[in-house]
Amino acid sequence: MKKLYVMLLFGVGLTLFFFCGGNKKMITSKAPLEYVKNETKKLAPVELKIDLTQLPESELKTLQILKQAASYIDSLFLIQVYSKNMAIANELANSNNPEDKYYYDLFKIMFGPWNRIDSDKPFINNIPKPEGANFYPEDMTKEEFLNFVKQNPDKKELFENTFTVIRRENRKLKALYYHEEWPNYVHKIHDLLIQAANTTKDSTLKDYLLKRAKAFLTDDYFESDMAWMDLNGDLEIVIGPYEVYEDKLFSYKAAYEAFLCVVDKEESKKLEKITSYLKDMEKNLPIPDKYKNFERGFSSPIKVVNEVFSAGDTKAGVQTTAFNLPNDERVRKAKGSKKVMLKNIAEAKFEKCWIPIVNKILAPEALKNISFEAYFTHTLLHEISHGLGPGFIKKDNKETTVSKELKETYPTIEECKADVLGIYNVHFLTEKGFYDKEFEKEAYYSYLGGMLRSIRFGIGEAHGGGVAIQFNFLRENGAFIIDKNGKLNLVLDKMYPSIKKLANILLTIQATGDYEKAKKLIEKYSKITPELQKFIDQLKDVPIDIKPIFPKI
């Protein structure tokens, strides 16, 4: 089983490598074995839950073909990360040293010799990760690139293109499209996508796959991105180059990734009902009517799916629970964007990372009232709540936007708002009879328990910073207590009023674009108090994320 996985993951690359006849030793030093074992343990292995029995035979077959295509995405991403990755993988896979198995395991998770969950610390060959990954020559500086573009304005567009790599030839820089740099891989993927298109009975998927197959050979993804927005069958498939985070030099170049998912029909139906309340939710916001935003189009659909397989960029390190694509602004303008939530990934994280946390920090009575459903509902309502409240605003009689006015404080305030409104709207939907009182209670307890999960990764990042505001604000308002055993418990009747109060503060800051107030709120509440630190200290041994074991298909 393991062998097969290795072959699928690195098979094509290895063939190429042998062809090049490399016998040179790639690995010159290694981090202590203990470190590698400990880091691997921080990602808890978990079998992803998914029911494929309802899926028509044709779509199951389509998934199988797409899984082969996605395995080539794994190889492509591995090469994109580092020019020597294939050679290192080869050496680890064929090593006679039993210890190397552990290094190889972590290498496969991280897609290279740098630990993505420990600030890219190297665990093989003690060298820093190239900032430009394998998108640029390793010895190229930022300056050299900028100078070249300045001196060759006609090449600027090609050099900054999302889908080109920069190489050096006779000491001169040149740009190549992905399909020119990696023709073998993209042709294999192209052929498999065509095969999948001819297998599926879903006409929207067929359209997307055909257009996407062509895109792999041209590196023009516009038409296929447009087609992706229209998918409406059983499968939700993403395959191609998307995010630019791997390019830390310029954030120009997109990394290959794939999500193969099945739509969760039951959850989608619930979602449809919730979104029919969007206007009422806006009306119900705890701010004066003049601040409410009824102009915002609700053009961003949300889909709930279960993941069958993922590959490349998204599989490396920490797992994605939700994504919002495409990134192409032209598509966003024409059709908006689509938010996809991965329910079985969320469930796996809930079991392996969330439950162990609440077991340590919540009082026994509180523990009785938590549930995955309540936790997931809050996550959904968080996403929906990003679409509520002020967007375009007027300040000093000028048209402007919340994000422009709040500047660097915006991400923290916006994430905090989405969390707070997420729980505020559970109450609203309960009043509407959509949830029962018992569920509302579960939502409050689950929300309280979940706070520590975000804060433990630090308050520098917007989500963690936003949750610290909530924790300290709710504490100050008596919405929860710390009992004599040092465990957290809710003061149920104080919860909703405190949430409403915080929602009012956040929305007013946004509606008035008040940068100074935003800064003050963050300074006052977004901090790790000694009390909070004590809780964080208890979580050292809890896995920080999961390592998915994909279902057999």
List the x/- string, 458-497, binding to Zn ion by CB under 5 A: ----------------------------------------
Per-residue H/E/C for 174-240:
EEEEHHHHCHHHHHHHHHHHHHHHCCCCCHHHHHHHHHHHHHHHHCCCHHHHHHHHCCCCCEEEEEE
If the CB atoms of residues 231 and 418 are measured against Zn ion, the closer one turns out to be 418
Q: Least distance in Å: CB of 403 to Zn ion? A: 13
Chain residues 119-158 in contact with Zn ion, contact rule CB under 5 A: none
Q: Least distance in Å: CB of 383 to Zn ion? A: 7
Contact 274, 422 (CB under 8 A): no
If the CB atoms of residues 106 and 418 are measured against Zn ion, the closer one turns out to be 418
Q: How far apart are CA 338 and CA 329, in angstroms?
A: 13
If the CB atoms of residues 393 and 418 are measured against Zn ion, the closer one turns out to be 418
* Residue bearing tokens 């008040």: 514
454-469 b/e (C-beta count within 10 Å ≥ 16 → b):
bbbeebeebbbbbbbb
Q: Least distance in Å: CB of 418 to Zn ion? A: 5
Residue with smallest beta-carbon separation from Zn ion? 418
Q: Least distance in Å: CB of 469 to Zn ion? A: 14
Stretch that binds Zn ion, among 93-101, 115-123, 418-426, 535-543 (CB under 5 A): 418-426
- At 44, which helix (H) or strand (E)? strand 43-47
If the CB atoms of residues 366 and 418 are measured against Zn ion, the closer one turns out to be 418
* Residue bearing tokens 């090469």: 79
Q: Least distance in Å: CB of 301 to Zn ion? A: 17
One of 31, 362, 380, 418 touching Zn ion (CB under 5 A): 418
Contact 442, 369 (CB under 8 A): yes
Q: Least distance in Å: CB of 271 to Zn ion? A: 16
Stretch that binds Zn ion, among 112-120, 230-238, 334-342, 415-423 (CB under 5 A): 415-423
Question: Number of residues in contact with Zn ion, rule: CB under 5 A?
Answer: 1
What lies within 8 Å, CB to CB, of 537 at 6+ separation is none
If the CB atoms of residues 415 and 442 are measured against Zn ion, the closer one turns out to be 415
Per-residue H/E/C for 334-345:
HHCCEEEEEHHH
Helix axes 437-455, 462-476, angle to 10 degrees: 120
Q: Least distance in Å: CB of 411 to Zn ion? A: 9
Stretch that binds Zn ion, among 13-21, 124-132, 222-230, 417-425 (CB under 5 A): 417-425
Q: Least distance in Å: CB of 199 to Zn ion? A: 36
Written as six digits, the tokens of 462 are 């917007």
Q: Least distance in Å: CB of 415 to Zn ion? A: 5
Contact 77, 257 (CB under 8 A): yes
- At 398, which helix (H) or strand (E)? strand 398-401
If the CB atoms of residues 418 and 495 are measured against Zn ion, the closer one turns out to be 418
Contact 110, 116 (CB under 8 A): yes
If the CB atoms of residues 128 and 460 are measured against Zn ion, the closer one turns out to be 460
What lies within 8 Å, CB to CB, of 36 at 6+ separation is 30, 102, 103, 106, 123
If the CB atoms of residues 247 and 419 are measured against Zn ion, the closer one turns out to be 419
Per-residue H/E/C for 442-453:
HHHHHHHHHHHH
Contact 424, 470 (CB under 8 A): no
Stretch that binds Zn ion, among 208-216, 233-241, 303-311, 416-424 (CB under 5 A): 416-424
31: alpha, beta or left? (left if phi > 0; alpha if psi -120 to 50): beta
Burial of 217 (0-12, 13-18, 19+ CB in 10 A): middle
Cα 274 from chain centre: 23
Stretch that binds Zn ion, among 273-281, 330-338, 411-419, 467-475 (CB under 5 A): 411-419
If the CB atoms of residues 385 and 472 are measured against Zn ion, the closer one turns out to be 385
Chain residues 261-320 in contact with Zn ion, contact rule CB under 5 A: none
Stretch that binds Zn ion, among 283-291, 292-300, 414-422, 436-444 (CB under 5 A): 414-422
Q: Least distance in Å: CB of 382 to Zn ion? A: 6
Stretch that binds Zn ion, among 166-174, 306-314, 373-381, 410-418 (CB under 5 A): 410-418
Chain residues 198-257 in contact with Zn ion, contact rule CB under 5 A: none
What is residue 354's DSSP assignment? Answer: I
Q: Least distance in Å: CB of 322 to Zn ion? A: 8
Q: Least distance in Å: CB of 428 to Zn ion? A: 19
429 binds Zn ion (CB under 5 A): no
Residues that bind Zn ion (CB under 5 A): 418
